[in-house]
Amino acid sequence: AKSNLQFPDGFLWGGATAANQLEGAYDKDGKGPNLADVLPGGKVRLEKIKDYGFDFEIDTYKYYYPNHEGIDFYHRYKEDIALFAEMGFKAFRMSIAWSRIFPKGDEKEPNEAGLAFYDKVFDELHKHGIEPVVTISHYEMPLHLIKEYGGWRSREVIGFFENYATTLFKRYKDKVKYWMTFNEINGAVFHPILGLGFSAKDEESRLQETFQGLHHQFVASSLAVKAGHEIIPGSQIGCMLIYAPVYSADCNPENVFFALREEQIFDYICGDVHVRGEYPVFAKRYFKENNINLEIEEGDLDIIKKYTVDYIGFSYYMSRTEKKDKSGESSVEGNIMDGVKNPFLKASDWGWEIDPVGLRIALNQLYDRYRVPLFVVENGLGAYDKIEEDGSIHDDYRIDYLREHIREIGEAVEDGVDVMGYTAWGCIDLVSASTGEMSKRYGFIYVDKQDEGTGTLERKKKKSFNWYQNVIKTNGAEL
Ligand code: BG6
């Protein structure tokens, strides 16, 4: 249908993925083991992510590890990129597996075979006129850095990351213009494992450890921005937030303030450091009240101030509704974050509340506060898909979800927000980050791979494939 909305010329339509969730080939061509390789499949993963004292070992007797094979993009990237091109993608968001480039993470010299793989992928994308958008670190820290250094707990990791990022910039300077440093950096506030590569010792020390780890990442991110700008003139280096507007459950000012404070802590501590180059004013009190004492070395704050990001990439899946006193309330079951149920919203089969208007709110809030270009680099619906007897897949629920969200982006553009692009999450079915399931599918392209690891890996277009192709063709004028 006609949308009556106008998206900017050159809008970066496309899809988004992460290395560990689709590449497979987890031990090929010199790649070292990483965090994703030790995360089991199934709902047990979600519990492990929340665990204290997670051991980071592989136990194949007990568990199945879906990321080891992923969807075998490592060997099928040509076929997959051709399908993205057929949909008309202008951009493809992907990440680089750190441990392909530095198998242990602390080496001085990179692994040439790993670098060569991404050369081939970028060349293939450019052959089809698709711009790569690259996340440098997406939940796939080398295991050695986790075990030997305690992940981002350690300040030493800053130097390893800087070397890794610099290596990428030098190697791909003619192939990649758009970069992002850390995927969903603020997600660590709820669960440090994925982003920071450690599980907190206990609930009491969680915030202290998390914010110290984040501080290290802030410095590392700024050093990457510095290196990127020096090595690749004209490059665009962004941060990446998981953004959720926080609503008050009602108009009781106590709850309104509570929601505001939650939003400040969750969304704006990381956002402010990345974009404004400084910790926000409320952080001081929040840190004090929560016994968070950051070790900040001389020079850190200057680096943070000087090398801020060019744009904000963010994921948007849900809003969050909060209340000061949650006793007696059932919390939202599947949402990754805290909160109470929003009576106005329906949820996905995994309990993620669906809120398209929340995306327009998010875009307005972020632009009001930061005035830098925004890039919606993840959004989508994880759903069960059914293959009909004739082989077709009618994923109208996914089309509806995406249509509603894209419409709200169009509204935000009319509001005056500078939006660079939209890359739908999991444009091809891949392993879920939170549950390790394959059955939580996001793609326009179906992959025959099942939760327990069976399947031919054959690719099939879903109904949403043609729908999205037309959205891109009409630059959002038809949704
Ligand atoms: C984001 C992550 O949190 O959400 C992705 O950046 C992830 O890696 C996506 O896959 C969807 O979450 P899930 O758990 O459904 O895969």
In a domain, 204, yes or no: yes
Q: Mind listing the pLDDT tens digit for each residue in 75-88?
A: 999 999 999 999 99
State the Cα–Cα distance between residues 390 and 205, nearest whole angstrom. 55
Phi, psi of 402 (to 5 degrees): -65, -40
Task: Kindly state the tokens that stand for 73.
Answer: 């993009």
pLDDT above 70: percentage of residues in the chain: 99
CB 405 within 8 A of CB 389: no
| Segment among 41-45, 57-61, 440-444, 470-474 with least mean pLDDT | 41-45
Q: Does 98 or 325 have the greater pLDDT score? A: 98
Burial 297-313 (b: 16+ CB within 10 A, else e): eeebbebbeebbbbbbb
In a domain, 479, yes or no: no
Strands 311-315, 419-425: pairing kind: unpaired
Residue 426: predicted pLDDT? 98
| ipTM (interface pTM) | 0.99
Whole-structure pTM value: 0.97
What residues contact residue 291 under an 8 Å CB cut-off, 6+ apart?
A: 207, 208
Which atom of ligand 1 approaches the CA of 350 most closely?
Answer: 15
Task: Kindly state the tokens that stand for 387.
Answer: 């293959």
Residue 335: predicted pLDDT? 56
Task: Kindly state the tokens that stand for 217.
Answer: 């990442």
Of all protein residues, whose CA lies closest to atom 7 belonging to ligand 1?
433
Exposed, middle or buried: residue 477 (CB in 10 Å: 0-12, 13-18, 19+)? middle
Q: Which domain holds residue 308?
A: 12-473
pLDDT band at 50 (very low <50, low <70, confident <90, very high): confident
Is the per-residue pLDDT at 191 higher than 90? no
In a domain, 114, yes or no: yes
**Residue position matching structure tokens 């939202």:** 332
Burial 93-117 (b: 16+ CB within 10 A, else e): bbbbbbbbbbbbbbbeebbeebbeb
Q: Mind listing the pLDDT tens digit for each residue in 204-236?
A: 899 999 999 999 999 999 999 999 999 999 999
Phi, psi of 253 (to 5 degrees): -55, -30
Residue 189: predicted pLDDT? 92
pLDDT band at 1 (very low <50, low <70, confident <90, very high): confident
In a domain, 295, yes or no: yes
In a domain, 6, yes or no: no
Exposed, middle or buried: residue 448 (CB in 10 Å: 0-12, 13-18, 19+)? middle
The CATH number of whichever domain residue 23 belongs to comes to 3.20.20.80
Residue 321: predicted pLDDT? 95
Q: How far is ligand 1, taken at its centre, from the CA of residue 41, in Å? A: 14
- Is the C-beta atom of 185 inside 6 A of ligand 1? no
Catalytic, 478? Answer no
In a domain, 181, yes or no: yes
Is the per-residue pLDDT at 198 higher than 90? yes
In a domain, 478, yes or no: no
Residue 139: predicted pLDDT? 97
In a domain, 1, yes or no: no
Which atom of ligand 1 approaches the CA of 187 most closely?
Answer: 3
Average pLDDT over residues 361-377: 98
Q: Which of 21, 47, 190, 378 to mutate to test the pocket of ligand 1 (most atoms within 8 A of CB)?
A: 378
- Give the total number of structural domains in the chain: 1
